[in-house]
């Protein structure tokens, strides 16, 4: 049975074995000795999260920001100056299909509103470029399947921005579960929420977001329940609470509590909300121990503990690790411990569809 010390040694000494960044302290993630292939990325949608990704990519070794796609000319100009983007690698939403003729761009990271993901990813695939899409991949499972099919037909990869799949403390708990140290997992709790601000923002527009808190923060608890328990749920129940009907219009969920049942007998109890702060916690209870992350999914640092004590791994910028690891997946065929492909994202979308149905009907929805 592997010890925590063994696991850290694997992280620091065997990228091949675990497909993790090689680091023993935070700065080692930026290993300047790397001389392999580099993934040249254009970012589509230049909002606040795109800026976070772009800043993080400045210290990547396997991925490089080389292009932008935006509907706002002033943003393109600003990004050109800040990130040294060549004019020939700048596009708008009308002409981005022309990237098919640009050999200097390998992949496009779509960071536009959820409701535009299908259109934009399918456009990227049509242009023959690999697609990285922010989560949720689409607004429902049907659209997600369309995106998967389009990328397969174009023979390009489709990855989704599951940055937590590369986070060391998260991966340590997964290792403990896989190794049997925790014993049989019995229960998972996922709390995901915050108080959302500006009522005019796109996240509160059903056409652009596809929903409310569930399509934004709630997906973390859905995805987390699956990789922490290590199984796919077979049923779901859900209850919606809405107190502010003016801010949260029809189709925009304010708060949803949902429960998932797993084939091995474990259950998950989760909450997704746009009306409460201080909710970013994962808790796993098992026969031989427990594990907790709090905060569990924020930009960091993640804090964790198990029945063995505190989890002590250096914090590295999530998006830097994500983009380097995705470059390895696309260019070198690396296999991550937890998948980040379109099929993985489709599983979450199917559960989200079922949660909305359960909340609407009050029925227990069979996922099998």
Coil, helix or strand for 188? Answer: strand
The continuous run of DSSP H or E covering 162 comes out as none
Sheet holding 365-366, edge to edge: 309-311, 304-306, 289-293, 275-286, 185-195, 267-273, 255-261, 235-241, 365-366
pTM of the shown model: 0.91
C-alpha closest to that of 45 among 74, 65, 75, 87: 75
Query: Is 178 a catalytic site residue?
Result: no
pLDDT of amino acid 1: 37
Rama region for 127: left / alpha / beta (φ>0; ψ in -120 to 50; rest): alpha
Instruction: Write down the mean pLDDT value for the chain.
Output: 92
C-alpha closest to that of 136 among 200, 229, 212, 235: 212
Q: Is the predicted pLDDT of residue 235 greater than 50, yes or no?
A: yes
Query: Is 227 a catalytic site residue?
Result: no
Coil, helix or strand for 18? Answer: helix
Rama region for 113: left / alpha / beta (φ>0; ψ in -120 to 50; rest): beta
pLDDT of amino acid 93: 97
C-alpha closest to that of 233 among 264, 257, 255: 264
Residue 4 to residue 184: CA distance in whole angstroms = 19
pLDDT digits (tens, 9 = 90+) for 136-154: 999 999 999 999 999 999 9
Given the residues 129, 135, 157, 350, select the one marked as catalytic.
135
Residue 211 to residue 47: CA distance in whole angstroms = 19
Q: Which residues pair with 304 in a beta bridge?
A: 293, 311
DSSP string for residues in 313-345: -----HHHHHHHHHHHHHHH----SS--BHHHH
Helices (runs of H) and strands (runs of E) counted in the chain: 11, 15
Residue 156 to residue 341: CA distance in whole angstroms = 12
Q: What is the DSSP letter of 286?
A: E
Q: Is the predicted pLDDT of residue 42 greater than 80, yes or no?
A: yes
Domain 36-160 coded CATH 3.40.50.720: yes
Given the residues 220, 227, 274, 313, select the one marked as catalytic.
220
Sheet holding 130-133, edge to edge: 90-91, 63-69, 39-44, 107-110, 130-133, 158-160
Confidence of residue 32 (pLDDT cuts 50, 70, 90): low
- Name the one residue in this structure whose structure tokens are 């536009």: 112
pLDDT digits (tens, 9 = 90+) for 50-80: 999 999 999 999 999 999 999 999 999 999 9
Q: Is the predicted pLDDT of residue 296 greater than 60, yes or no?
A: yes
Q: Is the predicted pLDDT of residue 6 greater than 60, yes or no?
A: no
Cα-Cα-Cα-Cα torsion 138, 141, 147, 148, nearest 10 degrees, comes to: 130
Confidence of residue 33 (pLDDT cuts 50, 70, 90): confident
Confidence of residue 25 (pLDDT cuts 50, 70, 90): very low
Confidence of residue 34 (pLDDT cuts 50, 70, 90): confident
**Tokens standing for residue 232:** 């796919």
**Tokens standing for residue 72:** 């706002």
Q: Which CATH superfamily is domain 163-314+342-366 in?
A: Dihydrodipicolinate Reductase; domain 2 (3.30.360.10)
pLDDT digits (tens, 9 = 90+) for 155-166: 999 999 999 999
First to last CA, the chain: 33
pLDDT of amino acid 187: 98
Residue ranges per structural domain of the chain: 36-160, 163-314+342-366
């Amino acid at each position: 049975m592997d010890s925590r010390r063994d696991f850290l040694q694997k992280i620091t000494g065997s990228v091949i074995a675990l497909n993790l960044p090689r680091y023993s302290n935070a700065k080692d993630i930026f290993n300047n000795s790397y001389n392999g292939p580099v993934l040249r990325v254009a970012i589509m949608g230049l909002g606040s999260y795109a800026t976070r990704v772009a800043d993080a990519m400045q210290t990547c070794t396997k991925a490089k920001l080389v292009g932008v796609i935006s509907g706002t000319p002033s943003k393109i100009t600003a990004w050109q100056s800040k990130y040294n983007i060549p004019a020939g690698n700048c596009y708008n939403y009308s002409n981005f299909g022309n990237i098919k003729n640009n050999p200097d761009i390998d992949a496009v990271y779509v960071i536009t509103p959820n409701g535009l993901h299908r259109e934009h990813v399918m456009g990227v695939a049509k242009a023959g470029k690999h697609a990285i899409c922010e989560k949720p991949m689409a607004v429902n499972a049907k659209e997600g399947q369309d995106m998967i099919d389009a990328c397969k037909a174009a023979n390009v990869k489709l990855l989704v921005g599951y940055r937590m799949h590369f986070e060391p403390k998260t991966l340590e708990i997964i290792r403990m579960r896989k190794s049997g140290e925790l014993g049989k997992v019995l229960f998972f709790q996922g709390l995901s929420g915050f108080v959302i601000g500006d009522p005019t923002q796109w996240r509160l527009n059903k056409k652009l977001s596809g929903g409310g808190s569930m399509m934004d923060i709630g997906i973390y608890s859905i995805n987390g329940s699956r990789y922490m328990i290590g199984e796919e749920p077979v049923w779901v129940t859900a209850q919606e609470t809405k107190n502010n009907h003016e801010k949260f219009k029809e189709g925009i969920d304010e708060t949803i509590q949902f429960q998932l049942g797993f084939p091995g007998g474990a259950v998950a109890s989760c909450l997704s909300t746009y009306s409460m702060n201080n909710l970013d916690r994962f808790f796993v209870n098992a026969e031989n121990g427990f594990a907790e992350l709090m905060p569990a999914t924020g930009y960091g640092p993640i804090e964790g503990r198990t029945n063995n004590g505190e989890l002590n791994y250096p914090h590295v910028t999530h998006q830097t690790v994500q983009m380097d690891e995705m470059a390895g997946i696309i260019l070198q065929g690396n296999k991550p411990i937890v998948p980040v492909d379109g099929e993985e994202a489709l599983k979450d979308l199917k559960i989200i569809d079922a949660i909305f149905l359960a909340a609407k009907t009050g029925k227990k929805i069979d996922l099998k």
